[in-house]
Amino acid sequence: MADKDRRSKSMESRRRKRTSSEEHSYAVAASSPWDIVAPSPVPIRASVSSSTSKYPAKNHNFNAKSNFISEIGSRIDYSRTRKKIVGKNWEDHQLLRSGGFRGNKVETEFDDDEEEQKVILHVHDIKLPPFLDGRVVFTEQAELILPIKDAMSDMAVISRKGSALVREIHEKQKRDKSRQRFWELAGSKLGDILGVEKSVDETDADTVVVGEDGEVDFKGKARFSQHLSVGDFTKSKTISQQRQNLPIFSVQDELLQVVRENQVVVIIGETGSGKTTQLTQYFYEYGYTANGIIGCTQPRRVAAMSVAKRVSEEMESELGDKVGYAIRFEDATGPSTVIKYMTDGVLLRETLKDPDLEKYSMILMDEAHERSLDTDVLFGILKKVVARRRDFKLIVTSATLNGEKFSNFFGGVPIFNIPGRTFRVQICHSKTPCEDYVEAAVKQAMTIHIAGAPGDILIFLTGQDEIEATCYALSERMEQLISSTKQPVPKLLILPIYSQLPADLQAKIFHKAEDGARKCIVATNIAETSLTIDGIFYVIDTGYGKMKVYNPHMGMDALQVFPISRASADQRAGRAGRTGPGTCYRLYTESAYENEMLQSPVPEIQRTNLGNVVLLLKSLKIQNLLDFDFMDPPPQDNILNSMYQLWLLGALNDVGDLTDLGRKMCLQFSFDLRIGKRKVMLLGKSFLCQNLITLHCLMFTNNGKLMNTEETGVMTIFYRSKVCTRLGR
């Protein structure tokens, strides 16, 4: 009995202690209501609102907080009491169950009274910056735009389901604990099949090269230019004969005349007609480089460098001499460069330093139909340059028939059509929709390899995961084939390519397979435009691709799989007819091509986060975004949410102007580094913990590369780290 009393006393004292500590914690909570009602970190539109505002409160509004406390004070009391009761019941319940305390009645369920069923919604009284109070309209596009034609179509449903084969391979790899990156496979069986020789880890830490602009690629050795071999294309013909065979050659004079007479011209031509490689040379030969250089933009890095390589060969000059290229982390141009291929992002950055692009006499915007974010911003900027500089020419080229749109944007400029194509491409559609397009692609590739005529294969998939799984499945099936037959099986050289793969491994796709072997390139849409891979006669097009889509409710971009557009499908097919007649196997029906695919992709500017664009335009002193000439205006929600994020980060002030921090965030970092990370890196500098912060940013940044050494000076710290070297994909 005495024992029982002691126990019950100690229990009582513990309960008292607990209650007082609870009260203490509630007192703290009461002075910090944001702990009770967590502020939303992203501008989620409030569906329930007590005010006219659409956005959540900026969470450092302390006046708003104290009003809020008094308003909800009674609710806090209520919830405190409830918590105490529940806590007490729980404690008793535990003691009784453990046998430490005996009672007559054990409550196994706590009463749920009516009150507890109530859901209490706390709605912040939002203070928005004046420029986002809804009175200013930033765009003519009120609605969000879906990057898909019909969300219920077969292709859309399949794209959401994903591939069963990929899942199966993942499971298998997880079980085997052997899931590795391709460049870590050196020496392994799969590595041998794939022809992977060395790992990125072998990169020498001491040879890191810091670029002039302060940007460092710690895979300096993995530069494209050091790994490109001279093309083996059509050895039977000289380069000048090959040039003369191209459709563009026959219309050269008319084309030059149209360009002479007009400041802006839109040029439309089939894939392989010679737009990318020939136009720059014609303009150079015609003398357009007398007062400046010719710039040609490409939406993708691999295209910029491979085309520059080809043109330098055609002009019999070293790459980087007369013809060069500039992509992020790599500038292969020199003082005598007159033709410069570059990504559109590189040109966009140049406009910040030189708004009139004085060093260029002419810009060619190639593959304009891709409508990347950078291309669309460039359209608006270059339109202004054209108006300011009468000596400046702008050529817009596209493979699709949307020339009218480009022409109208520049005020009804002429459209020049290049007739014909170099080689025929036979198109074969699937008779029924493919439930698992990865499995179908593997089967099709094996069928071609076993039974098809010579010629290399190019498979289009959506991303790294699918590519790795496909390479794995292909190598497995090759092994099975070899072990199940006594006949000699020709070698299949399987080569993956996606943007995160190191440049030296990407460049492998241009190397010729050894005699008797067939090359099978497994690619994302980075191999879709402008690329000529010598020997590709078969294309397998799954019909899907990944697209970055902004979710304004989450305030983030997400990569999602969608059916591609008809324009992209034509581009993919076009990769088969570059150096000879080819065949394209489409793993979707003809009806899907006609009815389930958009004619051209939804412009990136209408579906992604615009934080970078807003920063850039503000840096270019464009205060009112409505004043900027967008070919297709971005949706209102995207602009508002992006501006709201910038304001929260302190990049914009209360009237929507760029702050000093915002200017730094724009000028000191690469465009594809997320704006939030830029701020963290800048803050790291002020708090003298930059090394650590930079390391964190590096580890979580999209490409795992350090963006700006001016800001850091810490390269060697993490450059030596294996983790980071691996991250430097």
Backbone φ and ψ of 362, nearest 5°? -155, 140
Torsion of CA 363, 369, 375, 377, to 10 degrees: 110
Least distance (Å) between residue 160 CB and ligand ATP: 30
**Of 255 and 707, CB closest to ligand ATP:** 255
| Cβ nearer to ligand ATP, comparing 305 with 547 | 305
Which is nearest to 478 in space by CA: 195, 193, 197, 196?
Answer: 193
Beta carbon nearer to ligand ATP, 273 or 701: 273
Instruction: Round to whole Å and give the CA distance between 544 and 63.
Output: 51
Query: How many angstroms separate the Cα of 510 from the Cα of each of 233, 259, 496, 535?
Result: 11, 33, 12, 9
**Distance between CA 239 and CA 245 in Å, rounded?**
10
Residues that bind ligand ATP (CB under 6 A): 231, 233, 246, 269, 271-278, 310, 399, 422, 529-530, 532, 534, 574, 578-579
Least distance in Å: CB of 212 to ligand ATP? Answer: 28
- Which H or E run contains 36? helix 33-36
Range list of β-strands (E), 306-368: 323-327, 330-332, 339-343, 360-365
Provide the phi-psi class of 679: left if phi over 0, else alpha when psi is between -120 and 50, else beta. Answer: alpha
d(CA 15, CA 87): 9
CB of 223 to ligand ATP, least distance (A): 18
216's enclosing H/E stretch is strand 216-217
Kindly state the tokens that stand for 617.
């335009």
From the number of C-beta atoms within 10 Å of its C-beta (0-12, 13-18, 19+), residue 190 rates as middle
Q: Based on CB atoms, which residue is closest to ligand ATP, 229 or 447?
A: 229
Q: Least distance to ligand ATP from the beta carbon of 510, Å? A: 7
Q: Nearest approach, Cβ of 272 to ligand ATP (angstroms)?
A: 3
Choose between 276 and 638: whose C-beta lies nearer to ligand ATP: 276
CB of 528 vs ligand ATP, minimal distance in Å: 9
Residue 269 or residue 633: which is nearer to ligand ATP going by CB? Answer: 269
Instruction: Give the integer Cα–Cα distance in Å for 479 and 70.
Output: 73
How many CB atoms are closer than 10 A to CB 220? 17
162 in Cβ contact with 663 (< 8 Å): no
As measured in angstroms, the least distance from the Cβ of 456 to ligand ATP is 13
Smallest distance, ligand ATP to C-beta of residue 396, A? 13
CB of 152 or CB of 230, closer to ligand ATP: 230
Please report, for residues 372, 521, 541, 613, the alpha-carbon distance to residue 534 in angstroms, rounded to integers and kept in the order given: 27, 12, 18, 37
Please state the closest distance from residue 325 (CB atom) to ligand ATP, in A.
Answer: 13
d(CA 13, CA 19): 10
Looking at the Cβ atoms of 308 and 505, the one nearer to ligand ATP is 308
Give the separation between CA 554 and CA 618, rounded to whole angstroms. 24
Smallest separation (angstroms) from ligand ATP to the CB of 461: 20
* CB nearer ligand ATP, residue 273 or residue 638: 273
Compute the least distance from the CB of residue 398 to ligand ATP, in Å.
8
Residue closer to ligand ATP (CB basis): 154 or 534: 534
> Please, how many CA atoms are within 13 Å of residue 368, restricted to the half-sphere of its CB?
28
348 vs 567 by CB, closer to ligand ATP: 567
Q: Please answer whether residues 626 and 137 qualify as being in contact, where contact means their C-beta atoms are separated by less than 8 angstroms.
A: yes
